[in-house]
A and B are shown apart, each in its own frame.
Chain A
Amino acid sequence: DVKVTQSSRYLVKRTGEKVFLECVQDMDHENMFWYRQDPGLGLRLIYFSYDVKMKEKGDIPEGYSVSREKKERFSLILESASTNQTSMYLCASSSPSSRPEQFFGPGTRLTVL
């Protein structure tokens, strides 16, 4: 059974803290994605990576950075968390083939106080 796992289901942090969200996939996928999901806004792409050490900005990269040191792992970093980054964060992976179905992790609900 293919899997995308995320390090935490729930996380509470304080404003200004550095936050790391980890995502691991076991499907040997080249592509990995970070989204945030907010009510009424759907999924918005923060960053994606199509290979190890490669990254591309999505639609809302401000305030975030990412790291992809290994193929199976894609980390999202909030350098200095702010209250407007309170959200559900979803990680996904896909194959670079012509049939790009995405597989999602369970999500991390981050609250920044």
Chain B
Amino acid sequence: AQSVSQHNHHVILSEAASLELGCNYSYGGTVNLFWYVQYPGQHLQLLLKYFSGDPLVKGIKGFEAEFIKSKFSFNLRKPSVQWSDTAEYFCAGVRFSGGYQKVTFGTGTKLQVIP
């Protein structure tokens, strides 16, 4: 069975610190990988996505992620976090099976940025 793992459950950073959140997936074949963000009181929204091509993908608000196939990883990064980045971040993987999408989410990482 496919799985997506996020090892950091709760991260606390000071403003301007650099961020890296880990995400690992367990299945081979073609993978579509996503990072979603949920700001306090808001609904989940897409941060960035990887389908194919350049393994370094850039998303909104200065976030980026790198797909490393050999490590089955898709870590999220930001060089300098802001207080407004306080949110919960979810990694997700999608593969196609039997003609439809099979979606798996990680357990999420809560990021708290201290001013």
Chain A: residues with CB nearer than 8 A to chain B? 31, 33, 35, 40-45, 48, 50, 56, 90, 92, 94, 96, 98-102, 104-107
B101 within 8 A of A: yes
- Complex alpha-carbon distance, A33 and B46, angstroms: 16
Selected from A40, A99, A102, A106, the residue in CB contact (under 8 A) with B103 is A102
Stretch among B64-72, B75-83, B105-113 lining the A interface: B105-113
Once A42-B90, A43-B90, A104-B43 are accepted as A-B contacts, the answer to whether A96 and B101 lie under 8 Å apart by CB is yes
Give the distance to chain A from B41, nearest Cβ to Cβ, in Å: 9
Contact string against A for B residues 1-35, beta-carbon threshold 8 Å, 1 for contact and 0 otherwise: 00000100100000000000000000000001010
Q: Which residue of the partner chain B has the closest CB to A35?
A: B105
A sample of 8 cross-chain residue pairs with beta-carbon separation below 8 angstroms, ordered by A number, consists of A35-B105, A43-B108, A45-B105, A56-B100, A96-B100, A102-B46, A104-B36, A107-B43
- Complex alpha-carbon distance, A102 and B65, angstroms: 18
Give the distance to chain A from B82, nearest Cβ to Cβ, in Å: 23
- Complex alpha-carbon distance, A40 and B108, angstroms: 7
Residue with the highest number of chain B CB atoms closer than 10 Å, among A48, A98, A102, A105: A102
Q: Which residue of the partner chain B has the closest CB to A54?
A: B100
Give the distance to chain A from B57, nearest Cβ to Cβ, in Å: 13
- Complex alpha-carbon distance, A98 and B30, angstroms: 11
B44 within 8 A of A: yes
Selected from A40, A41, A43, A100, the residue in CB contact (under 8 A) with B101 is A100
Are A40's CB and B107's CB within 8 A?
yes
Which residues of B lie under 8 Å from residue A90 when comparing CB positions? 43-44
Which residues of A lie under 8 Å from residue B90 when comparing CB positions? 42-43
